[in-house]
Amino acid sequence: MEPGEHTVDELNERLETVDDEEVLETVLEAEQSGQDRKTAREAIRSRLEAVDAPGNEENGASGGDEDDESAGEEEPDAGDDESAGEEESDDGGEEDDGLTHPTRDKRHVRALADGDYEDMWVFCETQGGELLEVSREMLGKARRLMDQFSEDYGDEERVVAYLMGDDCEGLAEECIAYGADVALYHDDTRLERFLHKPYTEISAHMARGEGTAESTDWRDYDKPRYILFPATNNGRDLSAKVQAELDSGLASDCSDLFIEENEVSNPVKTGEPGVKKTFEKVLHMKRPDFSGFEYSTILCLDNPGREFHPQGASIIPGSFDPIERDDDREGDVIEHDMELDEDWFRVEITEYDQLEAGVDLTGHEVVVCLGRGIADDPTVGMELGLDLVDAFEDAELAITRGIVTSSYQFEGHVERYSKEERQIGETGQVVAPQLYIAAGVSGAVQHKVGMDQSDTIVAINTDTDARIRDFSDYFIEGDLFEVLPRLTDAVEAGETTLEAVADGHGGDGHE
Ligand SMILES: Cc1cc2nc3c(=O)[nH]c(=O)nc-3n(C[C@H](O)[C@H](O)[C@H](O)COP(=O)(O)OP(=O)(O)OC[C@H]3O[C@@H](n4cnc5c(N)ncnc54)[C@H](O)[C@@H]3O)c2cc1C
């Protein structure tokens, strides 16, 4: 048998028929000198174990006479989703360390080879008995995407909102008004607040179409085609857990989505080298990459013999507009039916408190934002920023996440300005003042989305290649420790006024 000619799943099937240890060893050698896929190696070794050849483990561990029954018990796993898993992370030889892999007991996962997938699902998060705004935003985007989908492909697939809570039928109806075709809800007094375990179990149960006929006869497919979650604290947790339960992937913190076909030549996806394959109806999920200066588009594509659905994304609040509420829109509101295990409620929320609202940076004429450019003397940098704030009539001090996550030692009188409540950006506040002054800020995408709607942007930076220059109206090349005091003096002396800057006349020639 030539293993390189088969996908791992095919190989698994063929190995089932081989009982000869020597043949298996030859197959293992051929795999190692060929494609050397981790999952293929594991499958062959598993089979070797099953035919009682433990001496073939890479480190030569364990010998001889293991009893057939226990080896046999492992077998279904080896041919199951474990071996069909992703090849990417070759952490080499961990099967020999005597430890059990933490997910080895995942029996509920069904890696489908020819499944049916339909519809775009949206997890609609609620708080205090109301839909979060991001839930409405996602429904709006889902509506537009699926309308386009039916135009492009001629298939009427639906937007399915799903939610859970205590007495949430009314919110399910609201989801229809905001664009859903179906709203699936699970009511239970214990679900009033977000809880990881029951929320995850219910989501996965809903997505797999499990439950009574009455609660599932509206659909006829294995799993959703797409699923959206909000990139909120709870939504981020839930998205990862649900997608793991459903054995699919997740693109987190996305700010744009579109559906298109995609041609790929990666042999992991096509099944053979040198061949191109077109995937249809692929959800393209755009998110800032970790550097913060580029966007990446994430795709969740099937492997041969193993499908990854739903294609899932979590969505940054504020990325999309909701559609206008229409209480006359028609749709199906369906109660989901499922026994909830008492054990899932071991964590009980006995008390909760609302955090103070914090600092509101929106609605000011001017925002002065400090970034890591203050590193040389963080306390002085902060003082200089505050001086400039004071020079304007209506200004507030903001910071980048770079400051929030830094380990700068601020002196007591300015320390409170270094907290997350003043952060601008994707995971902070979004502002659009008349004037935004960014001192020592590089202009990462995650920062940009929180301030680029400002009327006039002035950047102060020592680096003329700093990305913020691309979206600034004025770029002052210079050290903020020198520029900020001069700017403050000019504002105090009336040489630089807000109106003059907005008109394109900075006043004293700083620009
Ligand atoms: C999931 C995720 C979410 C994120 N969310 C946010 C968010 O909401 N908001 C946010 O801000 N970031 C966010 N980030 C972080 C973001 O990617 C950047 O790392 C961060 O914005 C950089 O902060 P900075 O501009 O202060 O620091 P840096 O990128 O280090 O830039 C410092 C700048 O100061 C300049 N400089 C240095 N010395 C001086 C000086 N003396 N005078 C003048 N200029 C000087 C440098 O040339 C440089 O351009 C997020 C990242 C991730 C991965």
Same fold, 117-345 and 366-503: yes
Which atom of ligand 1 is closest in space to residue 291's alpha carbon?
A: 17
Each domain of the chain, given as residue ranges in start order, spans 3-96, 117-345, 366-503
Task: Work out the mean pLDDT of the chain and round it to a whole number.
Answer: 86
Of 3.30.420.10, 3.40.1280.10, 3.40.50.1220, 3.30.470.30, the CATH number of 366-503 is 3.40.50.1220
Looking at residue 375, its pLDDT comes to: 97
- Distance from the alpha carbon of residue 477 to the mean position of ligand 1, in angstroms: 17
Average pLDDT of 385-396? 97
* DSSP code, position 355: P
Average pLDDT of 167-182? 97
Q: What are phi and psi of 457, to 5 degrees?
A: -115, 125
Average pLDDT of 128-141? 96
- Distance from the alpha carbon of residue 496 to the mean position of ligand 1, in angstroms: 27
Residue 74 has pLDDT above 50, yes or no: no
- Stronger pLDDT, 386 or 358, i.e. the higher one: 386
What would the two tokens of residue 465 be? 């290649």
Query: pLDDT band at residue 8, thresholds of 50, 70 and 90?
Result: confident
- Distance from the alpha carbon of residue 468 to the mean position of ligand 1, in angstroms: 10
CATH architecture of 117-345: 3-Layer(aba) Sandwich (3.40)
Query: pLDDT band at residue 111, thresholds of 50, 70 and 90?
Result: low
d(C-alpha 136, C-alpha 326), whole Å = 12
**pLDDT digits 0-9 by tens, 194-209:** 999 999 999 999 999 9
Residue 33 has pLDDT above 80, yes or no: yes
Residue of 427, 458, 477 best suited for mutating to test ligand 1, as the one with most atoms within 8 Å of CB: 427
Residue 287 has pLDDT above 80, yes or no: yes
Of 98-102, 280-284, 399-403, 461-465, the one with minimum mean pLDDT is 98-102
Which atom of ligand 1 is closest in space to residue 442's alpha carbon?
A: 49
Residue 179 has pLDDT above 50, yes or no: yes
Looking at residue 59, its pLDDT comes to: 37
Pocket-forming residues, ligand 1, beta carbon under 6 Å: 253, 290, 292, 371-373, 400-403, 423-428, 440-442, 444, 446-447, 450, 460-463, 466, 479-481
Give 107-112's long-range contacts (Cβ < 8 A, gap of 24+).
Answer: 108/204, 108/245, 109/81, 109/245, 109/246, 109/247, 110/81, 110/208, 110/222, 110/247, 111/81, 111/84, 111/247, 111/306, 111/307, 112/222, 112/223, 112/306, 112/307, 112/309
Which atom of ligand 1 is closest in space to residue 425's alpha carbon?
A: 8
**pLDDT digits 0-9 by tens, 326-370:** 999 999 999 999 999 999 999 888 888 877 778 999 999 999 999
Looking at residue 94, its pLDDT comes to: 43
- Distance from the alpha carbon of residue 294 to the mean position of ligand 1, in angstroms: 14
d(C-alpha 380, C-alpha 339), whole Å = 60
Provide the H-helix boundaries in 122-230.
Answer: 133-153, 169-177, 196-207, 213-216
Q: Which residue has its alpha carbon closest to ligand 1 atom 12?
A: 401
